[in-house]
Structure 1
Amino acid sequence: MKTLVCFGDSITAHEINDDDSLRLTSRVRLSFNKWNVINAGVPAETTRLALTRFQEDVLRHEPDLVTILFGANDASVHRLIDVEEYKNNLVYMIEKLGPSKVILISPSPVNENQQHARTNERTQQYAKAVKELAETYNTHFIDLWTEMSGRNYKQMLVNDGLHFNKKGYKLLAGLVIQKIEKLKKAKKTKKGFAAMAKIQKG
């Protein structure tokens, strides 16, 4: 059985929203019911704190894939983690797992009319950092910042201006599911080419 670990903060944590709608891992699990989908999200967490549980909550499961979504708290005024440290913390995770197992997800924009601990100007710096790391390490990548910015993202957030409602989780989970399906298809095609080459050599 394949194992997917969803590693992150409160946007990843929990299975059900307050309105009884499904959150990230619940939606992904429905699409990949033959996979072991593990929710490793902890509310209010930064990448610095995440490193303290990385071995126990991620590595010990020997996952095939890991989604990594942090930044909302790293970019907040009350828990601020410098962008360079943020990048270094993510690099540690990437190198321990191996780039081919990592799906980096950039943090999303916030509704500044409702959210006063974070600004889009600052949060976008963390989103750009994630994109740069994905390109440098050739990890899989979901540009959630761009995906949401290109839509009416305020309608995807609850009234704290940060966390996702049903529409937000439908988008996020859909992007994760689409990415995994694409990876599965690519792997199957690669195996097919390898088998064909073996036959031709024989």
Structure 2
Amino acid sequence: MARHEGCDQPMVNDCLNQLANFPLEIINTAVSGHNTADLLARLDQEILSQAQVDFICILIGTNDLASHKQIHLPTFEANLKQIIKKLARIYEPKQITLISPPPVDESKQRHRTNRRIREYSTCMKQIAFQENCRFIDLYKTFTENPKPTEELLIGSLNDGLHFGKAGYELLAQTILEALGSFGN
């Protein structure tokens, strides 16, 4: 959510604004390389102190599951629950959407596997259900897309993890679909 990929702003913001048929005001507080512990540490000051918004999307987990800096699943689960608990002081659960990590191209990515991504995504889905939040399975969205997953994962780093325009367009489209069902 934080990568610019050649844009003047985070590429996801650019794609959301291009694809939306309604005006959007986007506050993107994403920080590259952060995990759930980092988000929890900065949540009060950098996110909850902002003006209240209509919809919160949290794409997290990719760094939690990385073998070289792994936050183990029970701690990941506890961190996610704490994040939601803090957000729930201000927001209704249906305003909060957890977004799973996308798949990786394992031929290029050394520290992440799709098996582990599915494990963490399953955990996220269960927590979203338990807490009455929304959930976007980005892994499933990427792998079920007609474009090959490897093509969606090509970004300026071309490391099998950080995706480019095609991946951000798919992410933005998926978020907009969730926004469209916001009243449901």
* TM beyond 0.5: yes
Structure 2 residue 52 is matched with structure 1 residue 56 = no
Q: Which runs of 5+ in 1 are unaligned?
A: 1-11, 187-202
Contact 1:21-1:166 at 8 Å conserved across structures: no
Letter of the 1:155 counterpart: E
Q: What do the CA deviations read for 1:136-160 (whole angstroms, capped 9, x no partner)?
A: 1111111111111223211111220
* Stretch deviating more after TM superposition (47-56 or 25-34): 25-34
Normalising by structure 1, what TM-score? 0.79
1:64 CA displacement: 2.3
Which one of 131, 139, 151 corresponds to residue 125 of structure 2?
A: 131
Structure 2 residue 86 is matched with structure 1 residue 86 = no
Q: Which runs of 5+ in 2 are unaligned?
A: none
Contact 2:17-2:24 at 8 Å conserved across structures: yes
Normalising by structure 2, what TM-score? 0.86
DSSP-derived class of the 1:27 partner:
helix
| Partner residue, 2:171 | 172
DSSP-derived class of the 2:122 partner:
helix
1:44 CA displacement: 0.9
| Partner residue, 2:144 | 150
1:22 CA displacement: 6.8
Distance in 2 (CA, whole Å) between partners of 1:59 and 1:19 is 27
Q: What do the CA deviations read for 1:99-124 (whole angstroms, capped 9, x no partner)?
A: 12201111111000000011111121
Contact 1:157-1:164 at 8 Å conserved across structures: yes
Compare the two structures and name the one with the higher helix fraction. 1
Distance in 1 (CA, whole Å) between partners of 2:42 and 2:138 is 24
Contact 2:2-2:10 at 8 Å conserved across structures: no
Q: Which runs of 4+ in 1 moved over 4 A?
A: 19-22
Distance 1:92 1:114, change over 3 A: same
Distance in 2 (CA, whole Å) between partners of 1:179 and 1:19 is 24
What do you get for the CA RMSD once the two structures are aligned?
2.0
1:13 CA displacement: 0.4
Across the two proteins, how many residue pairs are aligned to each other?
A: 173
Percentage of pairs with the same residue:
32
Compare the two structures and name the one with the higher strand fraction. 1
1:88 CA displacement: 1.1
| Partner residue, 1:70 | 60
Distance in 2 (CA, whole Å) between partners of 1:26 and 1:18 is 11
Structure 2 residue 17 is matched with structure 1 residue 18 = no
Distance in 1 (CA, whole Å) between partners of 2:21 and 2:69 is 35
